[in-house]
Structure 1
Amino acid sequence: MKNNKLRTIAVTAAYSAGEELLKRYYQYARGDAKFKSQHEIVTKSDLISEKIIISEIKKHFPAHRILSEEAGKISGVSDYLWVVDPLDGTHNFSMHNPLWTVSIALFNKNKLILGIIFAPALNELFLAEADSGAWLNGKRIKVSGYKGEKVINTFCHGSKVSDIKKALKYYEYHKLHDLDCRQLGSASLELAYTACGRVESIVIPGANSWDVAAGVLLVQESGGKVTDFKNKAWNLKSPDMAASNGLVHKEILAAINKK
């Protein structure tokens, strides 16, 4: 990335939010969570993390636009757009499960140029830059080379009933064919795990851009493939997303689209 300041501020924002979340994680009471929809919860921690990230971005780049899960769209006059999930995996966080993240992505003129996923409870920072590669805690990462019966596929889903039914059908297909399929409860972490080869793929019916944007670049820069369910290139308006090591992409699309 030509502008190292963008990367530095993004990493600083992720670490600052993550450190505050980690403090609250160890003190968290499950009753603090509130449902914002039938299948989605929000906590004070989500809002505090979001405030930290937005404040850090706006302090250095006041003209930049921001799209964040809780705050929605924050206007600006720049070609730069930050896409933020201040706490992905809120259910896990609220149950003292360490699989949750801070996810920050940056677009310039609709091109995804930076992706950061920080898992504070695991002390893992995933970072990707367009045309430059992907890293985990400073070490270069690549997708796995597995296919066939050895693969581990994952899934998440949106809050619509149709998304849930599609995801459950995908899960059922794997189990009926003796294939491994899991749900970790954090879309961004499943993408990060696909990027570093811990799993082979993730599909998300009803994918939210803030959940997946950073992870999309991680998978792409680690040698994987990301599309929508029609095998078209993913973009911010895509209603669904499939990411893989590339070797299993045809199979996961066939499974998710199975009637």
Structure 2
Amino acid sequence: MREWEQILSDIKSWVYEAGEEQIRRFNQPMNLQYKSAEIDIVTEVDLWTENFLVNKIHTNYPGHRILTEESGAHDGNENYEWVIDPIDGTTNFAHGFPLFCISIGVKYNDETVLGVVYVPKLGELYEAMKGYGAKLNGEPIQVSQIKRLQLAVLATGFPYDRASDPQNNVDNFVNVVTKVAGIRRTGSAAIDLCQVASGRFDGYWELKLKPWDIEAGLLIVSEAKGRIKRINGEKGIFVIVGNESIYEALDTLVSG
């Protein structure tokens, strides 16, 4: 347990430092690269943040495995694995929209035990340690108590290949949008999950996600007393989260 506390303390220190650099370079001219699709962007700030975090882990926890969005898997010989998204919401970042975050989940023996999501431009740090609850800027958080779907505000997102693959979440969106108070699209799965954990959103679903999108956020929701469904598929991960009532309603309406 003390080891987890030390790791969590280090993560928080590192994301604050990386977040300062992201804020400094926000809205500055940047070179954009494209990955699997023309709307799947990576910036030099993504790469700088990832290198910064990987170097910190290699220096302080040299035996730990790492999985990152940009550089993939880094082997290690211990039972820990770090799952990192250096900027979740890169498209937002590249367009000068302030909803982006650093997401770090830490797994021990294949179970996620630590999660940190830091939203630099909002000054919000979400954290969770398995079995010890979830916090926002040091204060405990919990999912909402909304019970009726008609009163719920939800979040979702759409995959990068939505124009070419009919499994693009549009059918789910059409099925849900008329049944709820509202649906939001932030452009960051990690932020969406944290908004559910803090009770700002009542539920969230998305498909074709990657581990670095959700590893930290799912633990934060779980520790905020939320319900979770995670299904790993060939095209990615399907997720539904919410409080008890909204989760059950969503589970009957959407599919991955």
1:123-138 matches, cutoff 5 A: 123-138=123-138
Which residue of structure 1 lines up, in the alignment, with residue 20 of structure 2? 19
**In the aligned structure 1, how far is the partner of 2:171 from the partner of 2:14?**
38
Which residue of structure 2 lines up, in the alignment, with residue 153 of structure 1? 154
Q: Tell me which amino acid in the other structure corresponds to 1:152.
A: V
SS in 1 for 2:35: strand
- 1:189 and 2:191 matched: yes
Q: TM-score, normalised by structure 1?
A: 0.91
- 1:252 and 2:250 matched: yes
Which residue of structure 1 lines up, in the alignment, with residue 211 of structure 2? 209
Structure 1 residue ranges without an equivalent (≥5)? none
**In the aligned structure 1, how far is the partner of 2:96 from the partner of 2:166?**
24
Which residue of structure 2 lines up, in the alignment, with residue 119 of structure 1? 119
**In the aligned structure 1, how far is the partner of 2:110 from the partner of 2:124?**
27
Query: Could you tell me how far 1:199 is from its partner in structure 2?
Result: 0.1
Given candidates 220, 223, 231, the residue that maps to 2:222 is 220
Query: Could you tell me how far 1:179 is from its partner in structure 2?
Result: 4.0
**In the aligned structure 2, how far is the partner of 1:11 from the partner of 1:47?**
19
User: Structure 1 101/245 Cα, relative in aligned 2: closer, same or farther at 3 Å?
Assistant: same
Q: Does the CA contact (< 8 Å) of 1:163 and 1:205 recur in 2?
A: no
Q: Does the CA contact (< 8 Å) of 2:101 and 2:117 recur in 1?
A: yes
Moved more, 99-108 or 144-153: 144-153
1:154-173 matches, cutoff 5 A: 154-161=155-162, 165-173=167-175
Structure 2 residue ranges without an equivalent (≥5)? none
1:57-76 matches, cutoff 5 A: 57-76=57-76
Which residue of structure 2 lines up, in the alignment, with residue 81 of structure 1? 81
User: Structure 1 141/97 Cα, relative in aligned 2: closer, same or farther at 3 Å?
Assistant: same
Q: Tell me which amino acid in the other structure corresponds to 2:14.
A: A
Which residue of structure 1 lines up, in the alignment, with residue 49 of structure 2? 49
User: Structure 1 163/23 Cα, relative in aligned 2: closer, same or farther at 3 Å?
Assistant: farther
Q: What percentage of residue pairs aligned between the two structures are identical?
A: 30
Q: Residue deviations 1:48-72, cap 9 Å, x none?
A: 0101111111110001000000010
Q: Residue deviations 1:166-210, cap 9 Å, x none?
A: 421122122333541121100000000000000011111101100
Q: Does the CA contact (< 8 Å) of 1:163 and 1:206 recur in 2?
A: no
Q: Residue deviations 1:30-64, cap 9 Å, x none?
A: x6222212231100010001011111111100010
Which residue of structure 2 lines up, in the alignment, with residue 240 of structure 1? 238
User: Structure 1 134/151 Cα, relative in aligned 2: closer, same or farther at 3 Å?
Assistant: same
Q: Tell me which amino acid in the other structure corresponds to 2:219.
A: L
Query: Could you tell me how far 1:103 is from its partner in structure 2?
Result: 0.3
Q: Does the CA contact (< 8 Å) of 2:152 and 2:180 recur in 1?
A: no
Which residue of structure 1 lines up, in the alignment, with residue 10 of structure 2? 9
RMSD of Structure 2 on Structure 1 (CA): 2.0
Q: TM-score, normalised by structure 2?
A: 0.92
